[in-house]
Chain A
Amino acid sequence: MLRHATKRITGLGLAESRLSTPAATRILPRFYHERVVDHYNNPRNVGAFDKNDPTVGTGLVGAPACGDVMKLQIKVDEQTGKITDACFKTFGCGSAIASSSVATEWVKGKQMEEVLTIKNTEIAKHLSLPPVKLHCSMLAEDAIKAAVKDYETKRGKSVASATDKIAEA
């Protein structure tokens, strides 16, 4: 009788444990929304552009000591100011990876002025980030802004050098 019980117990009453636990675990901070898991498993637009390319803007934000570093790059059509492509690389938790993955998806095909209006709260809402993970979405917003700024600095320089050349001529 005891052995039988032992076997049943060590055989792991899977069905019961599965039914009873999800409700209890949902309150824990380690719960990830399906979208976070999806972006983590299939991150969109992972990669790198040549950062010396004048049409590429690179935003590198965060710090290794804080556990999050995000690098977001945009490729811009010089004529229209439209972001034609974007990619990212992220060192950080699943939420950070998902936030940057979402950010690259959202900036693609948009005007530069338009992407500057993307708010961290929108990303956080989209991914249902818990309060402890809100900084991941802020980092993504910062990365977008840094990338645009980098592109504009580069372009400003190239425009400046172009005008210099004209002036010299």
Chain B
Amino acid sequence: MASKIIAATVRRSLYPRILTYNRPLSTAAAAVAEPSDETVGISMKGVKISGRPLYLDMQATSPVDPRVLDAMLPYFVSRYGNPHSRTHLYGWESDEAVETARSQVASLINASAKEIVFTSGATECNNISVKGVMHFYKEKKKHVITTQTEHKCVLDSCRHLQQEGFDVTYLPVKSDGLIDLNELRSSIRSDTGLVSVMAVNNEIGVIQPMEEIGQICKEFNIPFHTDAAQALGKIPIDVNKWNVSLMSLSGHKVYGPKGVGALYMRRRPRIRVEPQMNGGGQERGIRSGTVPTPLVVGMGAACELAMNEMEYDGKRVTELKDRLLNGIRAKLDGVVVNGSTESRYAGNLNLSFAYVEGESLLMGLKEVAVSSGSACTSASLEPSYVLRALGVDEDMAHTSIRFGIGRFTTEEEIDKAVELTVNQVVKLREMSPLYEMVKEGIDIKSIQWSQH
């Protein structure tokens, strides 16, 4: 009873603020527009810039929405109880907060709160899903189907399974980045234990045909896992329409905090996994370890905001994407959008600039925080494996840049990004021997290049 009263008070004191505190915020724009407190400039990694770069890398991570932070702060400083403490008020109020967050996450994906397990992030969810399911059903099922363009953590989990003797089919994708449903159908075997296909690709932003894939999995009665970290709060998700058994979600891609994620696990028909971490049996034994109340509260608040603002955000992001693409296309030729143009999330624009090498372009775009693909692979010199899976020419795969647009991106930032990108591409093309050859009418592909 006491816990109920406390929880009610907690909720009353939190929610009005979540819903009313609506301060427009664009951290990057503020820094670009007013470099007043940045007169000395920033010098890091040999790069000197006058202010903080404008942020267009929302697929890597997003800022925490201030409204989310407001919801989280009390659980850091005053309501710091362990949600698993059963003997006092601190524990009860934390537990209530965690359960509220659980239902907030659940309602964004049309699931029941009982089907949500909190984890440390989407990587952990993917590990539990891929390895956990296969380990649990290892007596009968020996085969996993996934795609070549999955996130590294799914691919790596699959590699791990292969080493243990499981079979993995890596489905190729078409040139638009989508999988061929017939190919999926024909890859299914009697011992297929899991199909794992990501909803929105992190590098190129294409949306896979989830409902159709779900339908096929239902037909063959195979568990369907999807990594929806990039989809949560951006496109409508319905676990029943998609017929997913497992879904990986992340907090920090939806303006929530880093270090928290959620795994959706279907209850009917029930999907079972072998835990990857053993311990005190928290989260129904699937993910032992103390649930981090403030982070979980943040993820819950972020999901609730996303639910209310998805439509508005979507419209805005689409407008900004069009502004960016049209702005660049108006001044430059040889700009290619990687991946399907129809089935894609607008906030992820992956562009190839012909005859300009991506890394040098990134180096020149130091006032814009963008990436050449995923943060995990951008340290290596290899062109993106996702673009290669699409069959993008290797020389074009070296020229890609991903622009990530989000809730707090402003028109001014987009205009500035267009200006800087165009200037830099023009400068580098003047310096590019390939561009010169093309202007002279030489076909680059006809030249015998000496490979290094």
Interface-facing stretch out of A67-75, A116-124, A153-161: A67-75
Total CB contacts across the A-B interface at under 8 A: 127
The answer to whether B430 and A46 have CB atoms under 8 Å apart is yes
Contact sample, A vs B, 19 pairs, CB 8 Å cutoff: A2-B70, A2-B73, A22-B44, A28-B45, A31-B45, A31-B46, A33-B46, A37-B46, A37-B363, A61-B452, A63-B449, A63-B451, A63-B452, A64-B434, A65-B398, A71-B436, A89-B431, A90-B433, A93-B363
Q: Does A148 contact B (CB under 8 A)?
A: no
Q: Does A62 contact B (CB under 8 A)?
A: yes
Interface-facing stretch out of B98-106, B288-296, B308-316, B351-359: B351-359
**Size range of the interface on B?**
35 or more
Residue of A nearest to B451 (CB): A63
**Given the contacts A2-B73, A40-B364, A10 and B27 also touching, CB distance less than 8 Å:** yes
The answer to whether A69 and B46 have CB atoms under 8 Å apart is no
Residue of A nearest to B65 (CB): A10
Which chain A residues border B356 with CB–CB below 8 Å?
A: 91
Contact pick for A28, options B357, B379, B393, B395, CB 8 Å = B379
Which chain A residues border B379 with CB–CB below 8 Å?
A: 28-30
Which chain A residues border B393 with CB–CB below 8 Å?
A: 65
**Given the contacts A62-B449, A90-B431, A10 and B360 also touching, CB distance less than 8 Å:** no
Distance of A66 Cα from B73 Cα, bound (Å): 49
Query: What is the interface of chain A, defined by CB distance below 8 A to chain B?
Result: 2-3, 5-6, 9-10, 12, 14, 18, 21-22, 25-26, 28-34, 36-37, 40, 43, 46, 48, 60-71, 89-94, 96-97, 132, 135, 138-139
Given contacts A12-B31, A46-B431, 11 further A-B contacts (CB under 8 A): A6-B69, A9-B69, A14-B38, A25-B45, A28-B379, A31-B45, A33-B46, A40-B364, A43-B431, A64-B398, A67-B398
Distance of A28 Cα from B378 Cα, bound (Å): 11
Distance of A64 Cα from B442 Cα, bound (Å): 14
Q: Does B52 contact A (CB under 8 A)?
A: yes
Which chain B residues border A31 with CB–CB below 8 Å?
A: 45-46
The answer to whether A32 and B45 have CB atoms under 8 Å apart is yes
- Least CB distance from A72 to B in Å reads 9
- Least CB distance from B383 to A in Å reads 7
Residue of A nearest to B37 (CB): A14
Select the residue from A46, A62, A63 with max chain B CB neighbours within 10 A: A63
Contact pick for A65, options B47, B48, B433, B451, CB 8 Å = B451
Which chain B residues border A91 with CB–CB below 8 Å?
A: 355-357, 431-435
Which chain B residues border A70 with CB–CB below 8 Å?
A: 433
The answer to whether A32 and B431 have CB atoms under 8 Å apart is no
The answer to whether B47 and A69 have CB atoms under 8 Å apart is no
- Least CB distance from B442 to A in Å reads 11
Select the residue from B38, B45, B394, B435 with max chain A CB neighbours within 10 A: B45
**0/1 string, B23-37, CB within 8 A of A gives 1:** 001010001000001
Contact pick for A21, options B44, B47, B381, B394, CB 8 Å = B44
Which chain A residues border B66 with CB–CB below 8 Å?
A: 6, 10
**Given the contacts A30-B45, A132-B381, A66 and B451 also touching, CB distance less than 8 Å:** yes
Residue of A nearest to B27 (CB): A12
**Given the contacts A10-B66, A89-B436, A93-B360, A135 and B452 also touching, CB distance less than 8 Å:** yes
Q: Which of B421-440 contact A (CB under 8 A)?
A: 430-436
Which chain B residues border A10 with CB–CB below 8 Å?
A: 25, 27, 63, 66, 69
Distance of A66 Cα from B360 Cα, bound (Å): 14
- Least CB distance from A102 to B in Å reads 15
Q: Does B8 contact A (CB under 8 A)?
A: no
The answer to whether A92 and B46 have CB atoms under 8 Å apart is no
Distance of A93 Cα from B363 Cα, bound (Å): 8
Distance of A92 Cα from B364 Cα, bound (Å): 12
Q: Does B271 contact A (CB under 8 A)?
A: no
- Least CB distance from A106 to B in Å reads 19
Q: Does B22 contact A (CB under 8 A)?
A: no
Which chain B residues border A46 with CB–CB below 8 Å?
A: 430-431
The answer to whether B357 and A67 have CB atoms under 8 Å apart is yes
When A and B form their complex, which 3 residue pairs have the shortest distance between CB atoms, in order from nearest?
A: A64-B395, A63-B449, A65-B394
- Least CB distance from B350 to A in Å reads 17
Q: Does B42 contact A (CB under 8 A)?
A: yes
- Least CB distance from A27 to B in Å reads 11
Which chain A residues border B25 with CB–CB below 8 Å?
A: 10
Q: Does B450 contact A (CB under 8 A)?
A: yes
The answer to whether B360 and A40 have CB atoms under 8 Å apart is yes
Residue of A nearest to B359 (CB): A93
- Least CB distance from A96 to B in Å reads 7
- Least CB distance from A142 to B in Å reads 8
Q: Does B74 contact A (CB under 8 A)?
A: yes
- Least CB distance from A25 to B in Å reads 6
- Least CB distance from A12 to B in Å reads 6
Which chain B residues border A65 with CB–CB below 8 Å?
A: 393-395, 398, 449, 451
**0/1 string, B193-217, CB within 8 A of A gives 1:** 0000000000000000000000000
Which chain A residues border B63 with CB–CB below 8 Å?
A: 10
The answer to whether B73 and A6 have CB atoms under 8 Å apart is yes
**Given the contacts A6-B70, A36-B46, A62 and B452 also touching, CB distance less than 8 Å:** yes
